[in-house]
Amino acid sequence: MAGRPRAFPDDPHPRTRSKGSPLTTAPDSADLTTADGQDRAPNRTVAGEAGRRRTFAVISHPDAGKSTLTEALALHAKVISEAGAVHGKAGRKSTVSDWMEMEKARGISVSSTALQFNYRSTEAGESADDAVNVVNLVDTPGHSDFSEDTYRVLTAVDAAVMLIDAAKGLEPQTLKLFQVCRHRGIPVITVINKWDRPGRTPLELLDEIGERIGLTPTPLYWPVGIAGDFRGLLRRGEDGQAREYVRFTRTAGGAKIAPEEILDPDTALEREGDEWATAAEESELLSATGQDHDQELFLAGQTSPVIFASAMLNFGVRQILDTLVALAPPPQGRTANDDTVREVTDPFSAVVFKVQAGMDTAHRDRLAFMRIVSGVFERGMVVTHAQTGKPFATKYALTVFGRERSTVENAYPGDVVGLVNANALAPGHTLYVDKKVQFPPIPSFAPEHFSILRAESAGKYKQFRRAVDQLDSEGVVQILRNDIRGDASPVMAAVGPMQFEVVAARMKAEFNVEARMEPLPYTLARRTDAASVDELNRQRGVEVFTRSDGVLLALVSDKWRLQYIQKELPSLTLEPLVAAGDE
């Protein structure tokens, strides 16, 4: 399709330019076929396809607007026609990415989903095929009790968007997840959200980012208007000078793409007066303090591009997408257990990072989400499961966002694919063809909450056992057992107590089993060995269990009891596990 990107019939608000500039439309979501249905890129290469992909996750503290931003991005990419979040309590909708009843009722996300869409940046040439990028957005749980699930997602992405509430600034969950990104070398783009509401000053927020996490913020766009009076964005040049003014207009309830008007600096000054002048002065001040974007420093994890936005109003969302496409890195090779690197052009390999069941109550299927590391995935291909050495058929392969599904025929490095009824797969497992490869496992977090799980009705013991095994294999909770308590009373171990609520809700909804939970008086878990078990079980405030993967865990009442045992019985094995937010 030569010429300008076509306007979308469902978008009544195209972008306009002032003073006689040509009219342009919102960026085409850019399918890869011409007007006569022919393939635009018949000679695709793995390297070329990998280079077009951007795979990222959004990390934030609860209630920073993560799910709302996810849907705003999908709206701008034309994946959905209307955002699911609507102003006001009356008639409020849940976001389409939140599919569990518990998520809809509480307005929080407790599971992860993946969304793929094509996107043509407004900075790209109008007819360049390689300007069409494939964006893989992996949504994550927002609540801190599910940080382990978020951690798994971060093993599958190449970049992250750190979402910050304009009024609250950096919050504990955001800090923890940023440390995971830093440890894994994941570059971070910062989005300061909710600028349409009263909040702190932009310079104060940047200072906090620099001081608390040691990351130099380098704004690409600067807000025009204080928090609560969001008029638009000043687009900064390399020298901090204002290049243009992106002026937004609200839509009803923020359900549609906000129209943009692009003004030159002189027109912006005439239109906005002191608000524009203040924004321009602050932008120049940022340059004077060295806060201009440097791509090498960004990829090295030393700086973070910053964009101000309102996901609820769809202000600044296009700018986020354009920044991701322009600056975020494409998929790279991954280091295997033997320290070799599986390059993106090598034969097919993938890592399972998430297992989820219960997404389709009509079919009760089980999905294993895998990130393609190398090569080309073709639906129906037979791959090898590295952990067992057994073949695995991939007849049923899907992309999934909430409960929406579509079949995948082919996928490339960076893509996320859901394999249906993958009962043998668990987070951290490797799939491959040709030369064997196995990637490092995904560690489990150290649990801090423990509870006995029992079925209310003895007559539903079989369903109870099946439910426990399924939720354990998905990693919803860790299941611990010992001879004293028996299989009828397994112990759940979790990072946060809300994980127990998810277990109870899913057991009832998916297996028709009412479950009862009884908290245990333990707060710490330590890895131990067979030689230490008998002595540890004789200690007050200690109980030893076997985790489903065969690891022996000693549960301890508190840190003082642990310190006492380590001092009095130093020969016993009590090794720390991975803590939430660490690796």
Let me know: does 548 contact 492? Beta carbons within 8 Å: no
Paired strand residues for 54: 135
Tokens of 93: 């909708």
Paired strand residues for 417: 370
Paired strand residues for 335: 341
DSSP annotation of 5 reads P
Q: Would you call 499 helix, strand, or coil by DSSP?
A: helix
Strands 303-308 and 552-556: unpaired
Rounded Cα distance, 524 and 518, in Å: 17
Is 183 assigned to a binding site?
no
Let me know: does 367 contact 420? Beta carbons within 8 Å: yes
Is 229 assigned to a binding site?
no
Only one residue has tokens 């690796």, namely 583
DSSP annotation of 169 reads B
User: Exposure of 106 by Cβ count < 10 A (0-12 exposed, 13-18 middle, 19+ buried)?
Assistant: middle
Is 292 assigned to a binding site?
no
Tokens of 326: 């322009």
Tokens of 420: 């249906």
Strands 524-527 and 575-576: antiparallel
Rounded Cα distance, 502 and 258, in Å: 36
Radius of gyration of the chain measured on its C-alpha atoms: 25
Show Cβ contacts of residue 283 under 8 Å, excluding neighbours closer than 6 positions: 219, 222, 234, 236, 240, 241, 242
- Residue of 558, 469, 547 lying closest to 511 (CA atoms): 469
Let me know: does 226 contact 283? Beta carbons within 8 Å: no
Is 143 assigned to a binding site?
yes
Residues in the chain: 583
Show Cβ contacts of residue 374 under 8 Å, excluding neighbours closer than 6 positions: 46, 333, 334, 342, 343, 344, 345, 346, 347, 348, 349, 413
Q: Would you call 415 helix, strand, or coil by DSSP?
A: coil
Only one residue has tokens 């321009």, namely 280
Helix (H) or strand (E) holding 283: helix 274-288
Helix (H) or strand (E) holding 71: helix 66-76
Q: Give me the helices (H) in 475-529, please.
A: 498-511
DSSP string of 397-413, one letter each residue: EEEEETTEEEE-SEE-T
Q: What are phi and psi of 467, to 5 degrees?
A: -65, -45
Q: Give me the helices (H) in 108-237, please.
A: 147-154, 172-184, 202-213
Show Cβ contacts of residue 537 under 8 Å, excluding neighbours closer than 6 positions: 543, 544
Q: Would you call 253 helix, strand, or coil by DSSP?
A: helix
Strands 366-374 and 404-407: unpaired
Is 140 assigned to a binding site?
yes
- Residues in the annotated binding site for GTP: 139-143
- Residues in the annotated binding site: 139-143
